[in-house]
Structure 1
Amino acid sequence: MRVAIVGTAHVHAADYAAVCEGRPGTTLVGIAAPDPGSPFRFPPDVPVVAEPAVLIPHDLAVVTVDARSQESVIPSLRAPHLFVEKPLGADRGARERLAVHLAARGGTTSLGFFLRHGPAPCAMAEAVRGGRRLRELRLRFAHDGLRAGWLEAWPAHLSPERMGYGAFGDLGIHLLDAATLVAGPLAPEACRLRHRADGLETGGSARLAGPNGVAVHLEVDAAATEACLTVEAKFEDGTLTCGGRLGPPGTGAGGLPDPASGFSTVLDALERGEPPGGAILSDAVAAGRLLDAVLAT
């Protein structure tokens, strides 16, 4: 599998490059459109070019430019398979236009909604579809990026203009996607964002309502003391809990993947000649619409 990284603005570009470098049978053939403010560490002996058009032929393009740049970059890509980091587009209009383009281009498009590759959320969703009555769903995603300072080294992630959202949207869109997978269509009820003294958004909480009175609670914190990811589903006949403290990239936590392990799952499927699974374009569009609605409450 020949892979190219397109853009280094997104913090997970480094994780995906490391996966490719450490994976037998996968070759990182080049890196295009490097972001001048990014701390991305370029692997030795991997060509770096300004434009994706001059990359050598490859099977998969990993799109990790900032969300604002996706519309100018994605139409130029010729790889048969794309992996596009979330969010899809920096605003509603861009999201809809990109979805139309990607649906028409052929090949496959994988999205960076990594929780859909986890066995635990899928098992919860299967339980609901199998008739178990879900009463409450609680999801939490936290890391220490704005406490320890490492996220501030990635300037695109401090700019809602470049990424479409602040810290709540960055992490919360994963939780909204997973909650929709498990519970079904959701209606926002309330959202509260948190900011530090200089005005930078650090996270927040949200409450949503699902089918049959399911209560959904989200908690996001980008200034926590440690990285953790948890999902708790309370059914009438018991509770399922998964996740915990997040370790090094690629390890996940308690039945939940992380971005690196989710990306590895996509590579596994493509190498077998199978559809990559996970989120599809309609899921990405729905997650973006729901996030917009949550932030508007």
Structure 2
Amino acid sequence: MTDHFAASGQSPAKVAIVGAAHVHTGNFVRTLAALQTEGAAEVVAVYDHDAARAQKAADALGTTATTDLEVVLRSAARAAIVGAETNRHMSLVPALVEAGIGVFVEKPLAAATADAKALAATIDAAGVPFHTGHFYRQVPAIRAIKAALDSGALGDLRALTFHVSHDGLARDIFHGFEWLKTPEKAGVLAFGDLGLHAIDLANWLAGPLTVVSAEIDGPDHFGTGHLTGASGAQIKIVAGWVPADPPYILHAQGTKGAATVLDDQAFFERDGIRTAIEHTRKPTAGDGPATLVAALRGQPAELVTTAEAVSSITVMNALYAAAGRPISPFGATPQ
């Protein structure tokens, strides 16, 4: 079996882009371009079933564009950045991992729990590296809050609120990415898209989770979920494609103190004293590919496991079911 994790400081990690369909493609391309400049990565090819999309990304990276997946499967790529339509994950991911190619898969790995479990089993059986787009975990302030919870500095967690929303519909950021507004291809829309970030953080900070209730508006542009955590903590997530200022808020309340992130501000509160948390940057989708490249080069990197990805998708499905909106599996054939 290929040793995917090289010793630190070795040659650039060879990667491919498989699918340039996601709205985060620009983030991925900019990140990979910077990594190429640094000598940390080499993008060997860009595949997409849409030739124009493949060519646009390939031109930005100075590499080969192709509509033939076999070009990637026969390449020297050690991992692929999968930014395809979510329903296409069902065919692309097995083909890649069975060829010994590791994957960063833009979240969700799959929309329905059954599909996610099937893909996870295939990835695990192949024994290749895996990562997915839960990039809020890389935000320094959120990592500081996790450390405070793990150390007991905040006491026992009693409440956790995460509100994440953006004005994407109003700004028409989905122009050219309309499939993200199509359940047949995306599986879920706004609440699943942004809510999965909140679910992952809740699982990471306070899991395992139990769903209590959920409400999702008619077009799936906004929703609210109520859950409980392992310690009985009450958890609320609010997510949608509607304007919000600030765009994300995290608030954790423990028996000894509290912690808050308000977009670009973060602080602890304890004994009536507010202390700033180092918050060097906001979340960025480019963190996902960068983290996988670091791992491939043998550098310290925390990858999301397939089990963690499936766990959060399972909770997402339970929230949709609680709202009377069960998620249907894609099956193996892309639409």
TM range (shorter): 0.7 to 0.9
Give the distance between the partners of 2:228 and 2:281, measured in 1 at CA. 25
1:242 to 251, 261, 268: 261
In the alignment, does 2:317 pair up with 1:296? Answer: no
Give the distance between the partners of 2:217 and 2:262, measured in 1 at CA. 24
Question: Per chain length, whose mean CA-contact separation is higher, i.e. which structure has more relative contact order (CA < 8 Å, sep 6+)?
Answer: 2
In the alignment, does 2:149 pair up with 1:137? Answer: no
Give the distance between the partners of 1:40 and 1:194, measured in 2 at CA. 37
2:302 to 277, 280, 283: 277
Structure 1's unaligned 5+ residue stretches are 247-252
1:210 to 206, 229, 242: 229
Structure 2 residue matching 1:207: 3-state secondary structure: strand
Residue of structure 1 in register with 2:27 after alignment? 15
Residue of structure 2 in register with 1:91 after alignment? 112
Structure 2 residue matching 1:90: 3-state secondary structure: coil
Structure number with greater Rg is: 2
1:78-157 superposed matches below 5 A = 78=99, 80-131=101-152, 132-157=155-180
Q: Is the 8 A contact 2:165 2:242 kept in 1?
A: yes
Change (3 A) 1:54 1:184: same
Residue of structure 2 in register with 1:76 after alignment? 95
Structure 1 stretch 273-282 or stretch 105-114: which is displaced more? 273-282
1:48 to 57, 65, 73: 65
1:170-185 superposed matches below 5 A = 170-185=193-208
Structure 1 residue matching 2:118: 3-state secondary structure: helix
Letter in 2 for 1:8: A
Residue of structure 2 in register with 1:221 after alignment? 240
Change (3 A) 1:244 1:174: same
Q: Is the 8 A contact 1:14 1:40 kept in 2?
A: no
Give the distance between the partners of 1:37 and 1:290, measured in 2 at CA. 36
Change (3 A) 1:277 1:212: closer
Q: CA RMSD in A?
A: 2.5
Change (3 A) 1:256 1:180: farther
Structure 2's unaligned 5+ residue stretches are 1-12, 266-278, 323-335
| Percent identity (aligned) | 27
Q: Is the 8 A contact 2:17 2:80 kept in 1?
A: yes
Change (3 A) 1:134 1:254: farther
Q: TM-score, normalization: structure 1?
A: 0.87
In the alignment, does 2:201 pair up with 1:201? Answer: no
Residue of structure 1 in register with 2:290 after alignment? 264
Instruction: Tell me by how many angstroms 1:280 deviates.
Output: 0.4
Q: TM-score, normalization: structure 2?
A: 0.78
Instruction: Tell me by how many angstroms 1:225 deviates.
Output: 5.2
Per-residue CA distance 1:54-109 (angstroms, 9 max, x = gap): 13322221111122111211222235431111111232221111011000112211
Structure 1 residue matching 2:103: 3-state secondary structure: strand
Give the distance between the partners of 1:193 and 1:38, measured in 2 at CA. 32
Give the distance between the partners of 1:256 and 1:278, measured in 2 at CA. 19
In the alignment, does 2:18 pair up with 1:2? Answer: no
Q: Is the 8 A contact 1:243 1:256 kept in 2?
A: no
Structure 1 stretch 106-115 or stretch 261-270: which is displaced more? 261-270
